[in-house]
Chains A and B, each alone.
Chain A
Amino acid sequence: EVQLVESGGGLVQPGGSLRLSCADSGLTFSNNWMTWVRQAPGKGLEWVASIKKDGSEIYYVDSVKGRFTISRDNARNSLFLQMNSLRGEDTAVYYCVSGDHFNYWGLGTLVTVSS
């Protein structure tokens, strides 16, 4: 069974950086697309970025291009999201998602960008 645990969220000032991590305790991490999806307070779901199983394909939503970097370490069953130049509109719960069809979701980690 896939269990995803995010960490690294917190309060950061505008312009600051954070690195989110997601640990996958399942046995199929290296076989799956991995994705970050976020949800601003009181808002809907927004896709942020996805990375193919071997890292050969990476996609970002336009609003984070050049600021966020998704990466993975298949040896450690871990997914990462490096977030730089953070803005208020990046405030959200960030979910780590496994699978081609958003099959498994973590509980999320809250990122708050505020001075």
Chain B
Amino acid sequence: QSVLTQPPSASGAPGQRVTISCSGSSSNIGRHAVTWCQQVPGTAPKLLIHSDNQRPSGVPDRFSGSRSGTSASLAISGLQSVDETDYYCAAWDDSLHGWVFGGGTKLTVL
């Protein structure tokens, strides 16, 4: 059972907008910024969003993040087939004195 809760799956049609939620608590998302990583199965993860809503260079602006209270969201607009992969949220946890990840969300592009 992961400390951060993500839906196991999400889906959307090409061109649509989809959001993936990440729910935590006052000891993690309630106090610290959220990071999002993207992982194509069989390959290493890569950073997608950090500090709630900051995109590293090279990440398309179709990807955006937000945080409110003890929850965060990743939004992907203009959905493309290449977006069909796994997404993980993460945050520092003050109670556990470490990073915690969500269980991951598998995105399907219909």
Contacts and interface: CB of A to CB of B under 8 A. Distances in A.
Contacts of B98: 47, 50, 59-61
Contacts of A59: 97-98
A44 interface: yes
Q: Chain B contact residues (Cβ within 8 angstroms of A): what range?
A: 20 to 34
Contacts of A50: 98-99
Interface string A98-111: 01111111111000
B44 to A, nearest CB: 4
A11 interface: no
A95 B102 CA distance: 17
A5 to B, nearest CB: 11
Interface of B: 2, 35, 37, 39, 44-47, 50-51, 56, 88, 90, 96-104
Interface of A: 35, 37, 44-47, 50, 59-62, 95, 99-108
Given A44-B2, A47-B101, 9 more contacts: A44-B88, A46-B101, A47-B98, A47-B100, A102-B35, A102-B47, A103-B50, A105-B45, A106-B44
